[in-house]
Amino acid sequence: MIPVQLTLEGLYSYQERQTIDFKNLTESGLFGIFGAVGSGKSSILEAISFALYGETERLNARDKRAYNMMNLKSNRSFIEFDFFNFENKKFRATREFKRNSKNFDDVKPSNVVFYEWKENRWEPLEHVNPEKIINLTYANFKRTIIIPQGQFKEFLELGATDRTNMMKEIFNLYRFDLQNNVSGLNAKNRSELDQLEGQLKGFEEINEEQIAAQKENLTLLQKKFEEAKNEFNKIDKKYQIQKNLKTDFELLNEKQENFKKLSLEKTEIDGLEKQTERFEQVFRLFNPLIGEKNKLQKEIDSKNHEKEIQGKNLAETERKFNVLKESITAILPQYEVLERSKIKENDLRLILQMLRFSAEIEILKSRTENGVKEVEKVSENQKTIRNKIDVLLKNSELLKSQRLDAQLLLNVGNWFSKKRNLTESLQAQLKKTDDLNSEIHNISEELKTFTIDAETFKNDFKLKNDSLENQKKSLSEKKNQLEVQQQLAHFANELHDGESCPLCGALEHPDIVEFEDVKSELSAVAEQIIAIENQQKELQQTSSEIEKILAKKKFFESQLKAENEAFDQIKTEVDTHQNIFCWKEFNAENEPDFELKRKQTFDLEKQIEALSQEISQQQKNLEKERESLDKFNKALEDFKLKDKEVETKFKTSQSNLKNLFWEEFSKKSVEEVEERFQNLSKSNLKTEHEYQNLIQQEKELSPKFAEQKAVSEQLGKRIAELEKEISENGTVLIQHLEDHQFSNLEEVETILAQEINVQNNRNQIQKFRIDFETLKNGVEELSLKLKGFSFDESQFAALETQFKTGENELKTANDNVVKLCSEIDRLEKEFKKKEDLLKELAKLQKRADHLKIMTNLFKGAGFVQYVSSIYLRQLCDHANIRFHRMTRNQLSLQLNENNDFEIVDFLNEGRSRSVKTLSGGQSFQVSLSLALALAESVQANAQAEKNFFFIDEGFGTQDLESVNVVFETLTNLQKENRIVGIISHVEELKEKMPVSLNIIKDEERGSLIF
């Protein structure tokens, strides 16, 4: 994560809105945030953590977090944090909470929104889960990116289980937890094995010997089948000849019987043919004429009925038309005088307006008189308020002349505050020097027990060690000689004539040397060597202890020198600060007097503020009275303008009168004139509407009457034409009856009434003719075919029995062959399945063995623990690179068999001890090394180009030399593409920082960022 910008307002000591642009800070690679204790430095990290996770290190939800985080002078807290995540995507987190205006202690919960920068604009996200964006939980965020104050050593002091869980989450080691996967595979493999073993139980009797025996049986059955087949073919040939003869004789008899039946039906068919031809002839000649006659008669009847109805309608329309003419004649005189009546109606409307204008003029005169009185009253109120404001202003000026200057009070207050801080610092520094002197004295007393000269003890110890080494060397040479002598004695004792010498290879040994037994002497020399080695170890141990004590003394002496310098510097600052006191109004040695005067000034300020509020209220009242006066004056002007406007309208209406006179109606009431006007208006409107309706009805009825008259005449003409056509049709019909010798029309209608289906009858007749001829020809052909042949039923029955027997025997033989072939085929397929199942069984059994090994390997998340320990050891190795440099190779960090951190102390023969035994400065150094190594690993795991690391520690536990080493380490991080920010109050560190922010806490404005 790389910070871009942080905006905060109303949070902790930040009263006003402050914005931090991290761009210049992060570009430098190393930056600091400095300020006095309580200035609000750590609040910056709290704001970042709360913006992202809604969590803070200082407060939890039960601590009324929203209320306690909000600045007591603010009613709103706001945080906005922009940053790049590990994927180099830009995000924004905003949180805001507000104070209830009616209840100071009630602060509403924060509203949080996350945004992502896309296409040059911020788009809100659907979720508010920071872990999806940063890929870290809050607990690991404050261990790897932002380490809050007091939590720097948390990772170092975590238990093995908690530390392993943290490693799992940061490095996604859960992917190595394969226990459930292996268990699933094992269960699946076991299930498949059980299924295969169950399937193989059904193949126990299937083998190659059984298949071979069945193939031998098949050969015998196929031979029997061929013999039965040859015998059956002979019988089948004879049987088919007799069967065909039987079929032909039976078919001949059947056709002869059918021919007799058709011969009997021939007479009936001939009669039907004559009847059909007669009906078709009559239908073709007379049916169109009769249809035409009926159609004409039907149309004549329809037209006569229509003519009757049209005649009635025409009579009714003519009656209505005459009535309408009479109504128009009656209303015409009233319509002719309508224009004069409308002029009178308009005059009445004007007179009605004039009456209303006259009443409105009277009302406006009354309102004008009342408005003048209100204006005089408001003017008097204004005068009273102005006098009151003058009195209040005089009182306020008097109080202001008695108060002290606010800047003076602020400067003097700051001077006394700084004096207190310097005095406290001087006392604390004095205590430090006393403590260091005590430590140095104790170390000096401890050195006296060794009775050495501190300047020459190394040379003295070296001389002693060299003397012991020479003694040891002499004894070692003597030991070697004794060991050679002992070995030669052993060889001499082992020599026998005829056996080769192991040294020269000779077989004869005429003069064997005799040696004395040196075993006891050799043992004594070995004991002397061990004693000398123990003396050397004691000498080395004593030397190491003295060196450690001297190094410790030197360290405390350098610390004492630095603390004395710091004491002198603070003393100088105290004297300098005392000399800059230049305010004659106060005494530098009497702070209570200053506090009393400041309190009196604050009381005067409250009185002045109360007077200011009252003056402000009176000015508001004066402004309200002024607004009222302007309102009333404007109303008076409006009344006058309205009066003139109404009077002008009155005169205009009077000039527009034509027939009536104003004097005749000026004394009458509006209601009376209104009633007269309404009656006349309604009468005029009624006359006009009635006349226009009658004229419209006449326009509509006149063409309708003419149309109905024309339709009636047309109907008469059409009826005459139809009667002529029907007469001509009757003449043609009579002529056809005479030509075809019909006595009357009823005879024709009787024939047509039969409703004979000519096409069906013709099809029936044609079918009969075809069937009759076909059957006749078939009888003749069969008779000719069977001439000279005879058929014996008993001989055919015997042959048929012989055929069926042979057929059954052949079928049986074939079924046996087919059945045995199917069985052999089944056995071969089953045997192939068995072979495949056995191969699969071997694979699954081998897989089961492998899975058993994997189950033991991944049982109880052991593999994850193993991988976690590897990551932790790598982390430890990376941390040691910096830790060795910080401790000048005196200390090293390692893991024990329980994956707990231990310290290897090279000043004490490389022995290990607990990390809890480290001093405060050493704990800081190892924690910093671990934190940087962890951040490196997180960066590598996230594949980020850059990574950000923030430390909130005072660095106060470090001496000047250690501060330099730490700063050198932090500076080197720039070369490793790492961004590190620190929060501290150590001035030496501030001077070394290339870029930094300063936090200053103002008593009035709160924390300010510079």
Domain range summary for the chain, segments of one domain joined by +: 1-134+946-1009, 182-279+755-844, 300-400+652-721, 417-580
Query: How many angstroms separate the Cα of 369 from the Cα of each of 460, 530, 630?
Result: 125, 134, 17
Q: Identify the pLDDT of residue 861.
A: 66
Pick the closest to residue 687 from 1002, 330, 309 (CA basis).
330
Contact 905, 891 (CB under 8 A): yes
Query: How many angstroms separate the Cα of 973 from the Cα of each of 924, 966, 988?
Result: 17, 11, 19
Amino acid at 865: Q
Pick the closest to residue 823 from 221, 224, 195, 227 (CA basis).
221
Tokens for 6, please give them.
């942080």
Instruction: Estimate the crossing angle of helix 338-402 against helix 591-655, to 10 degrees.
Output: 160
Amino acid at 218: L
Within 8 A by CB and 6+ apart from 625, the residues are 378, 381, 382, 385
Question: Edge to edge, what strands does the sheet with 891-895 contain?
Answer: 891-895, 901-905, 911-914
Within 8 A by CB and 6+ apart from 504, the residues are none
Rounded Cα distance, 940 and 819, in Å: 73
Within 8 A by CB and 6+ apart from 529, the residues are 472, 475, 476, 479
Beta-strand pair 30-35/995-1002: parallel
DSSP annotation string for 692-707:
HHHHHHHHHHHHHHHH
Helices assigned H by DSSP within 54-137: 65-69, 130-134
Pick the closest to residue 3 from 28, 21, 17, 30 (CA basis).
21
List, in sequence order, every residue forming a beta bridge with 112; answer none if it has no partner.
Answer: 95
Pick the closest to residue 176 from 858, 797, 822 (CA basis).
858
DSSP annotation string for 708-724:
HHHHHHHHHHHHHHHHH
Domains 1-134+946-1009 and 182-279+755-844 share a fold: no
List, in sequence order, every residue forming a beta bridge with 181; answer none if it has no partner.
Answer: none
Rounded to two decimals, the pTM is 0.38
Pick the closest to residue 598 from 581, 615, 585, 609 (CA basis).
585
Dihedrals phi, psi of 913, to nearest 5 degrees: -150, 165
199 by Cβ neighbours in 10 Å (0-12 / 13-18 / 19+) ranks as middle
Rounded Cα distance, 255 and 1006, in Å: 130
Within 8 A by CB and 6+ apart from 1009, the residues are 18, 19, 20, 997, 998, 999
Rounded Cα distance, 499 and 505, in Å: 9
DSSP annotation string for 520-566:
HHHHHHHHHHHHHHHHHHHHHHHHHHHHHHHHHHHHHHHHHHHHHHH
Dihedrals phi, psi of 994, to nearest 5 degrees: -70, -35
Dihedrals phi, psi of 979, to nearest 5 degrees: -110, 125
pLDDT along the chain (1010 residues), means of 10: 90 90 83 84 87 82 77 88 88 90 81 90 89 81 66 67 72 75 85 82 75 82 81 79 75 78 77 74 72 78 81 79 79 74 76 74 74 77 81 80 74 81 84 86 81 76 84 83 70 64 57 66 86 85 80 78 85 86 83 81 80 82 78 74 75 76 75 80 81 80 77 80 77 74 72 75 80 80 75 76 81 84 82 82 85 74 76 85 81 84 83 83 78 72 65 63 69 71 77 82 84
Instruction: Estimate the crossing angle of helix 406-448 against helix 591-655, to 10 degrees.
Output: 140
SS3 per residue for 913-952: EEHHHCCHHHHHHHHHHHHHHHHHHHHHHHCCCCEEEEEE
Match 């905060």 to its residue by tokens: 8
What 3-state DSSP class applies to 136? coil
Cβ neighbours around 318 below 10 Å, total: 13
Instruction: Write the CATH number of the domain with boundaries 1-134+946-1009.
Output: 3.40.50.300
Alpha-carbon dihedral sign for residues 285, 290, 295, 300: positive
Contact 430, 560 (CB under 8 A): no
Within 8 A by CB and 6+ apart from 47, the residues are 6, 8, 11, 79, 81
Percent helix, strand, coil in the chain, to 5, is 75, 10, 15
Contact 228, 810 (CB under 8 A): yes
Rounded Cα distance, 188 and 705, in Å: 102
CA 38 to chain CA mean position, Å: 40
Rounded Cα distance, 930 and 877, in Å: 10
Contact 574, 426 (CB under 8 A): yes
Contact 69, 55 (CB under 8 A): no
What does the buried/exposed string (b/e) look like for 13-36 if buried means 16 or more CB atoms within 10 Å of the residue's CB? bbbbebebebeebbeebbbbbbbe
Contact 934, 171 (CB under 8 A): no
337 by Cβ neighbours in 10 Å (0-12 / 13-18 / 19+) ranks as exposed
At CA 660, angle to CA 656 and CA 665, rounded to 5?
105
Helices assigned H by DSSP within 580-669: 591-655
Instruction: Write the CATH number of the domain with boundaries 182-279+755-844.
Output: 1.10.287
Pick the closest to residue 170 from 195, 134, 203, 146 (CA basis).
134
Cβ neighbours around 681 below 10 Å, total: 16
DSSP annotation string for 826-866:
HHHHHHHHHHHHHHHHHHHHHHHHHHHHHHHHHGGGHHHHH
Contact 875, 163 (CB under 8 A): no
DSSP-assigned letter for residue 959: -
Cβ neighbours around 563 below 10 Å, total: 21
Tokens for 800, please give them.
């048929």
- Report the first-to-last Cα separation within the chain, whole angstroms: 24
Q: Identify the pLDDT of residue 80.
A: 94
Cβ neighbours around 850 below 10 Å, total: 13
Amino acid at 102: K
606 by Cβ neighbours in 10 Å (0-12 / 13-18 / 19+) ranks as exposed
**E-strand spans in 57-134?**
76-84, 90-100, 103-107, 111-118, 121-124
What 3-state DSSP class applies to 92? strand
Within 8 A by CB and 6+ apart from 837, the residues are 196, 199, 200, 203
Amino acid at 936: E
CA torsion, ordered 190, 196, 197, 202, to nearest 10 deg: 160
